[in-house]
A and B are shown apart, each in its own frame.
Chain A
């Protein structure tokens, strides 16, 4: 029991990273895109928990809202709209699947090399001061993020809103019946 209380967040990390990787494997291996989308939802929620464990509370909740809510509904809606009637006889992987496997393996060697060289320290503190404080006043993660966003990163924020407008117009034009 003492082990659970002292290592609870570590155990949660291992549990939910296993969920995330299992969901990702489901996305690339399941034949039916509907099952793949549900598998992707598992990954999104597990990754949100990983964010929460690193004291990124605001980003974790945004992850659940935007990915688990918006993007997932978009995917499910399109999967239902596109009637995939000849699914069973279609081959799952294209002819370049072996090449893709080699690409994944090369990526594994590349990243593994750097991961073996890099040694990062564990967490030295439970919750970083800068994650929750605004002007030296301890408020919360959402307040700290929004203060940072609206003071130091205001121009990128406005560009992101223009980007969303352009994407929305583009999606409407592309989906319009000619």
Chain B
């Protein structure tokens, strides 16, 4: 019971994922929402690494490198959008830019 198995990693990954999803849905500040997306991607990476070890297959590690690449690109573009938004509206609060809500 005390010995760490893949299940333990899945529990940690799931908790990070759930906290990240909650942050994406609940917070008003766009910077915090972007950070929550990073949390979710990290949770996915933990799963990849845990199953890579479980199956002793290197492909999980390769895939997590690609996930890190995509996360870096996503952070750069998301923060670029944030800067453009702040220049336009002087705010980073998401509820103040709900123009597409109709």
Residues of chain A whose beta carbon lies under 8 Å from any beta carbon of chain B: 7, 9-10, 13-14, 17, 20-21, 24-25, 27-28, 33, 36-37, 40, 43-44, 47, 50-51, 53-56, 58-59, 62-63, 66-67, 70-71, 74-75, 78-79, 81-82, 84, 90-97, 99-101, 103-104, 107-108, 111, 115, 118-123, 125, 128-131, 144-145, 148-149, 153, 156, 160, 163-164, 166-168, 170-175, 177
Q: Are B8 and A71 in contact (CB under 8 A)?
A: no
Q: Are B49 and A33 in contact (CB under 8 A)?
A: no
A-B contacts, CB under 8 A, total: 242
Q: Do A40 and B8 contact each other (CB < 8 Å), given the known contacts A82-B86, A125-B56, A164-B69?
A: no
The complex places the Cα of A54 from the Cα of B38 at a distance, in Å, of 21
Q: Are A47 and B72 in contact (CB under 8 A)?
A: no
Q: Are B69 and A24 in contact (CB under 8 A)?
A: no
Number of contacting residues on B, CB 8 A?
Answer: 73
Q: List the B residue with the shortest CB-CB distance to A172.
A: B80
